[in-house]
Amino acid sequence: MSNQDFLPINGTDYVEFYVGNAKQAAHYYQTAFGFQPLAYSGLETGQTDRTSYVLQQGKIRFVFTTALHPDSSIGEHVKQHGDGVKVVALWVDDARSAFYDTVNRGAKPYMNPTVHNDQYGEVVLSGIHIYGETVHVFVERKNYTGPFLPGFVKWEPSYRPSEVGLKYVDHMVGNVDWGLMDTWVNFYSNVMGFHQMLSFDDKDISTEYTALMSKVMSNGNGYIKFPINEPAKGKKKSQIEEYIEFYHGSGVQHVAMATDNILHTVSELKARGVEFLTVPDSYYETVSERVGLIEEDINELKARGVLIDRDDEGYLLQLFTKPVEDRPTVFYEIIQRKGAKSFGKGNFKALFESIEREQERRNTL
């Protein structure tokens, strides 16, 4: 693992979405997902071209940014992709070496190392391009004590729905266009020093109609896991193809957020109007045979539609939302790991069939 040590990453620093209306997106993530207000930047803080709201739950930090004028790269991004992830920010101890080391290995620069100051200290930011129009920003914040980043003020509204128990980003999945999976697997391996954990091909992940291929890349300490999906040929259009078509290119497909009490978290999310994919009741008739003994009551899992899978090291509980915008693009996974380090391969077939039922309703199958 020695070649992985050149880019130590402490975790996901934040995920920034470019959206059509940041005020309403922030309200949705507060109300539906229980994110707490953290920081704000906009006209009132001297920011004249954009507005950003920062929300946090556990260690998960989301930023929602919108353009204030038509001539804007943010507005252009939204026009192309709809609401979507622009920045997957990684928390590092040295944003300069993260930039120069990855650029020297072939990364395309997005932002040269830049020092940002305010009364709370100093942050160094740098960035590189990844798939599609998505970027990694390296965040060095060891000399900073402010609420988020210089330029942001504390956001303290009185409206604060409670958290739902989301703790940290477990993994983030990228969908890349036909034939590009290995290009980006090689990027994470050669440029970022990641290693490959797992791979799935179209025999693992296919139904009668649709298929995909997937490889999972992880950094040295295992804190960062990026599965990368590519569509595979099937009888009909796969969910990955559907994403690529509506996102107009490669981009982030889903963010998996971990909880240590999925029964509570999912009950809360459903009560607040978050919509999930469902599997037929028959899934639960055979699940015990497949996964063996688990601590939770199968009937409680069934009542909430939570899926179960097992690998050599334990089991996991997971559930997927429907897309959270009108384009069938970005969605979320809620996951609770009970020892398992995999991604729910045993559920893929049931999930794909569920997604196909949704695609059929959208006339995109």
Site residues for Fe ion per CB under 5 A: 256, 333
Closest distance of CB 228 from Fe ion, Å:
12
Closest distance of CB 254 from Fe ion, Å:
6
Closest distance of CB 255 from Fe ion, Å:
9
Nearer to Fe ion, 27 or 338 (CB): 338
Nearer to Fe ion, 50 or 171 (CB): 171
What is the 8-class DSSP label of residue 148?
Answer: S
Nearest to 242 by CA among 343, 140, 355: 355
Nearer to Fe ion, 63 or 256 (CB): 256
Q: Which residues have CB under 8 Å from 104's CB, separation 6+?
A: none
Q: Which residues have CB under 8 Å from 331's CB, separation 6+?
A: 253, 254, 320, 321, 322, 323, 324
Q: Are strands 84-91 and 135-144 parallel, antiparallel or unpaired?
A: parallel
Closest distance of CB 303 from Fe ion, Å:
22
Nearer to Fe ion, 107 or 340 (CB): 340
Nearest to 193 by CA among 162, 217, 216, 157: 217
Q: How far apart are the first and last CA of the chain?
A: 42
Closest distance of CB 344 from Fe ion, Å:
7
Where helices occur in 91-238 by DSSP H, the ranges are 95-104, 181-186
Nearer to Fe ion, 140 or 333 (CB): 333
Closest distance of CB 278 from Fe ion, Å:
17
Nearer to Fe ion, 52 or 206 (CB): 206
Nearer to Fe ion, 51 or 214 (CB): 214
Closest distance of CB 171 from Fe ion, Å:
6
Amino acid at 181: M
Q: DSSP letters of 266-292? A: HHHHHHTT--B----THHHHHHHHHH-
CA 270-273-276 angle, 5° bins: 60
Task: Report the C-alpha gap between 332 and 341 in whole angstroms.
Answer: 18
Count the Cβ atoms, other than its own, within 10 Å of residue 80.
15
Closest distance of CB 34 from Fe ion, Å:
20
Nearer to Fe ion, 36 or 199 (CB): 199
CA 42-44-48 angle, 5° bins: 50
